[in-house]
Structure 1
Amino acid sequence: MTLHLDDLVPATLRRGWAADGTCPDLDLYALFRTHRLAAPGRVAVIDAAGELTYAELDHLARDAAAGLRRLGVCEGDVVGVQLPNGRDAVVADLALAALGAVALPFPVGRGITEAVSLLGRSGARAVIAATEHRGTAHASELVAAAERLPGLRAVVAAGPQEPPAGSAAWSEVLSADGRAFVPARPDPDGAARILVSSGSESEPKMVAYSHNALAGGRGNFMATLIAGAEPPRCLFLVPLASAFGSNGTAVTLARHGGSLVLLDHFSPRGALAAIGEHRPTHVLAVPTMIRMMLDQPRPGPMPPMTALVLGGAELDAATAAEAGGVFGCPVVNLYGSADGVNCHSGFRPPPVGDRGPGVVVGLPDPRVAEIRIAPAPDGNEFGEIIARGPMTPMCYVGAPELNRRYRTADGWVRTGDLGVIDADGRLRLVGRLKRVVIRGGANISLAEVEHALATHPGVREAVCLGVPDRVMGERLAACVVPRPGHAPDLAVLTAHLLRQGLERSKHPEHLLLVEELPLTPAGKPDRDALRDLLLGGRRGSA
């Protein structure tokens, strides 16, 4: 089944960016092939199994594409991918691009409730999942849930373990002969990938990106951080299946002909060892990972790098300075989201003693995303940040209400963030309108957790919010009004959330029980007052 997706950016703009060279105007697999033909022996992927050259990776991708086609995957089909960082994830990316299918990656560890939501709402026809990863049998869970997904034709199980009954083995897919495979040639402005963002909604948002938006717009962002003529060598500590991780296969490999260094899961010691052994030019991570790495003993000075590129949340200035000294390179803070905004600090930090409002993000780059400030709702002193440019996604998937809420008639993305453009043309982030907590670089929808808490029989009302944390940036707190005769503790509530299918990464870590919620003059829960109560006496830490 071909998923119909409307591009909310005017076609004249898309074609203009292709005509003037801002976007490459080729599909992702064709772009990858240009590098494979130019440098077949260049290293493309380094993972726990060793190195893969561009030629070896292409051979695997073509075999996988032929095998998936044999399973019935067609051009335009949505295919879910739930694999850890490693060569299989990259092969799957390239195989789906070669088929002209639309990849829907989501990280390992996401619960089955979320997986069913994503696959069902997107109309996915197949899913490639880890047989087992760190104690979770993703493929088995998906086979068991297949009856809830009438559009799903195949579950492909990847990994050394025995594939569950009812699934196809990834090894069998790779055994197909790709020599006769003829790649599709999809429209470069057509959908290539669906990025998943927890955002501020009760269900994860899905955002459709074209080949040009990924390799062009996002590729242009990465181009500003490449020093010299050599292709980048990027250590991805974030999942390739995340929105930030979309800068992996599509950007590092297909656009820039670089190399990916991949760990199947993050640990601070493992990350430091990978830097020492593989000498990446760039490390892509969230601030929490860097904080954890800084607390680890190091055997000696770090090898030279071009930049630490950090997204998901801001790294405080003191830690950024410490990281810059330890790693001997600039620390680039990235302001961006799956929804379609991107701006970063570049290699130069903001001037010392800056006293303007908010946080200096950087100079917007129109080759990535033009940024403007629009009037914010409720007469806020600052305006709302809106963005539109080559990296702007096509639309939200299966959610017309989100398109109406977050997209303008001429294709601009409403970020829900407050900001201002200063006299030097720099974007300054002042605040956020959306109800979201960023814990360790991962977005947690407050609405999703609040809705799940409200289903507990002992909870009358629940409000969630973030409290500052040195390591994670923020941690999630729940403020609960119990029903008469009840006094649920944190353990009881988190056990309930687990039964509701909410994965542990979204569970509150602090609990405040109140007889009633304080209200603002407008009659809404006063989150600032609740936060003051929490910070004045936290209890119930997990």
Structure 2
Amino acid sequence: MTAAAVTDLVPARLRAEWARRGDYPCDDLFALFSAHADAHPDRPAVIDDGGTLDYAGLRARALATAGGLAALGVRPGEVVCVQLPNGRDAVAAELAVAALGAVALPFPVGRRVRETEALVRGSGAVAAIAPARHRDRSPAAELAALRGTAPTLRHVVAVGPGPAPEGCVPADGLPPAPPGFAPARPDPDSCARILVSSGSEAQPKMIAYSHNALAGGRGNFVEALRRPGQDLRAMFLVPLGSAFGSSGTSVTLARHGGTLVLCGAFDADAAVRAVAEHRPSHVFAVPTMIRMMLDSPSARTADPGGVSAVVLGGAPLDPLTAAEARARFGCPVVNLYGSADGVNCHTGLDDPPDISGRPGIAAGRPNPRVADIRVVDEELRDVPAGAIGEIVSLGPMTPMCYVGAPELNARYRAAGGWVRTGDLGTLDEDGGLRVVGRLKDVVIRGGANISPAEVEQLLREHPDVRDTCCVGVPDPLMGERLAAHIVPRHGRVPDRAELEEFLRGKGVEPYKFPEYVLPAPAGGFPLTPAGKVDKQRLRERAVEVVGG
């Protein structure tokens, strides 16, 4: 696949209008980054497990990798996979692909072979950059073994430590750049990166984003979370290879010239200590991570001072978690509603806690410099204020299209470039968005639809429930029954009768009560490589337990 094979489903006149009004920087990602490196070469660019790397050092690493890839024959517009853990290697690799004018396809290092093969084949990737070793695996060797089924894949670059597996090029042994090599200057409206959906519910999707949509649209989202004149020092606990993590290299560095604070793998106790040591201005995480950090031993002594916003996305944020995080970090907690598919809305730094009691979760007011939002019926007509409908989105951050999946473009893209999210929500009279649930995340019990997100939100208000995840369990009589996995707050999991009494007191219809109550796995909920709760694994676990 080349950039020419990607069709932009957003009308060109809209892209031009967003550029005219200043929503886009109108430059490519590497040029934006390089301008910051020129302006402040000694500023820290990345703080990771290996220490601190400044802008000048990061640019040198990126250009060396870009030159090596060019010598291998990687050309502008071709796709390069980046499967690396959070750290300077991942950042340098993504910038190197941008310097080539190629298209980056980052995805978390935890992806397994089957999903990796689907991404490589579906994107037509010609090269990949991956670790020689990661825990008990060799992602580089796994990628090299795909050459038989992914014929476009020509090169696999193995990042140390450790020797490069057979058939791979060691990152420290890349050939020198060809004579006259210089960074490319691609069209800012051309494809820069393919975001990969989390895969928590189904096979991951690939979505093409332009330089402008990343640095501009997504960059405007991060800009709205900064106080005037504030330096951006962003800690990403989510993988940079996830959709949430795309606000790392492309936005924190290329757009804003800030500093990335990264941990190689998420560990709640280590994350708490890292916040205290590195003093980030912003922490980007999913709610499950923050709940684990609040419960970690270090949380009782580590000083989180200096954080100006905790930005939580990727899963519904319940009021109790938000309140505890506000108290612990001493700063606003931003609820981010967004996805790789092309939607973004979030609460503001000065928004009061949501105590309205209305259905759904408050997600702030849409920012037209990021994405306008409508709530529509099945015919894509706007519904009245306060009525529930499907959330659709269009704005400067809107992606170009799905990659290699025309059926997804037909299903999720509407006339004029609008993105159909498959999420249910309401817009209040004052324009505030509330997210109610998902059209596709529904448990159907005896013909009645149950929103797991609705039940989860209510159960987290129970005084003995720390966290919960609800999934459907197949049933020969009812079709499905609801199972609730519970992380207890005080060591004991409330039984089914207690939870039913609690939900009844909340006015919940009895058919929505969980029929199976299961303790969460030891160590907490399993996470997908993108850092979200892995509902598929919990669904399989529930089937095993209930069936046993």
TM-score, normalised relative to structure 1 = 0.82
Does structure 2 retain, via aligned residues, the 8 Å contact 1:313–1:473?
no
Q: Which runs of 5+ in 2 are unaligned?
A: 445-449, 478-509, 520-541
State the match for 1:165 in structure 2. 166
1:510-521 → structure 2 map (5 Å cutoff): none
CA separation in 1, counterparts of 2:326 and 2:124?
Answer: 45
Q: What is the deviation of 1:475?
A: 5.2
Counterpart of 1:229 in structure 2 is: 229
Q: Secondary structure at the match of 2:264?
A: coil
Distance 1:474 1:38 in 2: 47
Deviates more, 1:190-199 or 1:213-222: 190-199
Of 128-137 and 386-395, more deviation after overlay is shown by 128-137
Moved more, 411-420 or 388-397: 411-420
- Contact kept in structure 1, 2:10 and 2:416, CA below 8 Å: yes
Partner Cα distance (1:328, 1:336) in 2:
24
What is residue 76 of structure 1 aligned with on the other side?
77
Q: 1:508 maps to what in 2?
A: none
* Residue number in structure 2 paired with 1:424: 430
Counterpart secondary structure, 2:416: coil
Please say which of residues 295-304 and 406-415 is displaced more in the overlay: 295-304
Correspondence 1:49 to 2:55: no
Partner of 1:369: 371
Equivalences, count: 474
Map of 1:115-514 to 2, 5 A cutoff? Answer: 115-173=116-174, 176=176, 180-198=180-198, 202-297=202-297, 298-350=300-352, 353-376=355-378, 382-435=388-441, 468=456, 473-474=468-469, 476-479=471-474, 481=476
Counterpart residue identity of residue 267, structure 2: S
Deviation at 1:301, TM superposition (A): 3.2
Check 1:431–1:165 CA distance in 2 against 1; reply closer, same or farther (3 A cut). Answer: same
Change (3 A) 1:24 1:378: closer
2:248 corresponds to which letter in structure 1? G
Instruction: Find the aligned partners of 2:55 and 2:396 in 1 and give their Cα distance.
Output: 27
Secondary structure, counterpart of 2:157 in structure 1: strand
Summarize deviations over 1:35-81 as a string: whole Å, max 9, x none: 01111110000111111110110011111100011111110001111
Cα deviations by residue, 1:466-524 (Å, 9 ceiling, x for unpaired): 88475665254542559xxxxxxxxxxxxxxxxxxxxxxxxxxxxxxxxxxxxxxxxxx
Q: CA deviation at 1:424?
A: 1.4
CA drift of 1:391 comes to 0.1
Identity of aligned residues (%): 56
Partner letter of residue 210 of structure 1? S
Q: Can you list the C-alpha shifts for 1:279-321, whole angstroms capped at 9, x where unaligned?
A: 1001110001100010113324322211001110122111211
Contact 2:198 2:243 (8 Å CA) reproduced: no
Give the whole-Å Cα distance in 2 for the aligned partners of 1:338 and 1:49: 30
Amino acid at match of 1:434: K
Range 384-393 or range 176-185, more displaced? 176-185
SS in 1 for 2:415: coil
Q: Distance in 2 between matches of 1:103 and 1:531?
A: 44
| CA–CA separation in structure 1 for the residues paired with 2:138 and 2:238 | 21
| SS of equivalent residue, structure 2 residue 516 | helix
Paired with 2:545 and 2:45, the residues of 1 have a C-alpha distance of: 43
The 3-state SS of whatever aligns with 1:324 is helix
Tell me which moved more, 278-287 or 422-431: 422-431
C-alpha offsets along residues 403-455 of structure 1, whole Å, 9 cap, x if unaligned?
11101121000011111210111011122102389xxxxxxxx9xxxxxxxxx
For 1:518, the equivalent position in structure 2 comes to none
Structure 1: any 5+ residue segments left out of the alignment? 438-445, 447-462, 483-527
Please name the residue that 1:493 is paired with: none
Give, in angstroms, the shift of residue 188 of structure 1.
0.3
Rounded to whole Å, the distance in 2 between the matches of 1:121 and 1:481 is: 36
- When residues 473 and 171 of structure 1 are mapped into structure 2, their CA distance, relative to the original with a 3 A threshold, is farther
Secondary structure of the structure 1 residue equivalent to 2:23: coil
Shift of residue 147, structure 1, vs aligned partner: 0.5
Change (3 A) 1:201 1:312: closer
Q: Say if 1:200 and 1:435, in contact at 8 Å, map to a contact too.
A: no
- Where 1:115 maps in the other structure, the secondary structure is helix
Q: Is the 8 A contact 2:362 2:432 kept in 1?
A: yes
Contact 1:64 1:178 in 2 (8 A): no
Matched position secondary structure for 1:266: coil
CA drift at 1:375: 0.9
Residue type of the partner of 1:40? P
Q: For residues 309 and 22 of structure 1, what CA distance do their matches in structure 2 show?
A: 22
Describe the shift of the 1:99–1:465 C-alpha distance in structure 2 as closer, same or farther (beyond 3 A): same
SS of equivalent residue, structure 1 residue 96: helix
Out of 312-321 and 6-15, give the one that drifted further. 312-321
Q: TM-score, normalised by structure 2?
A: 0.81
RMSD of Structure 2 on Structure 1 (CA):
2.8
Q: Distance in 2 between matches of 1:9 and 1:68?
A: 31
